[in-house]
Amino acid sequence: MCEANAYLRDGDREELLLEAVDKIVPYEDGLLLEDIFGRRKIVKARVVEMALVDHRIILERV
């Protein structure tokens, strides 16, 4: 599988935001994240790093 977990970075801390993220779509002034089960989260953040081999997406609030 190619999904990844999305984390929200706050300083040197990372908080798990959503697991098994399958889709990231620009949405208004943030991002819409959707997991493989169809659950969605909208967050005012930007992508800082995507390490897909490690299944990690790092976001930061804007």
Whether the CB-CB separation of 60 and 12 falls below 8 Å is answered with no
Distance between alpha carbon 60 and the CA centroid of its chain, in Å?
9
Mean pLDDT estimate for the chain: 96
As a whole number of angstroms, the distance between CA 56 and CA 38 comes to 19
% of the chain surpassing 90 pLDDT: 95
57 domain-assigned: no
Residue 2: per-residue pLDDT: 75
The DSSP code for 39 is: -
Q: Which of 58, 20, 56, 62 is nearest to 43 (CA)?
A: 62
pTM of the prediction? 0.92
**Residue 61 forms part of a structural domain:** no
Residue 13 lies in a domain: yes
Per-residue confidence (pLDDT) for residue 39, from 0 to 100 = 98
By residue range, what is the domain housing residue 44? 4-48
Separation of CA 41 from chain center: 9
Q: Is residue 33 part of a domain?
A: yes
60 in a structural domain? no
* The total number of structural domains that make up the chain: 1
Residue 58 located in a structural domain: no
pLDDT band at 1 (very low <50, low <70, confident <90, very high): low
Residue type, 6: A
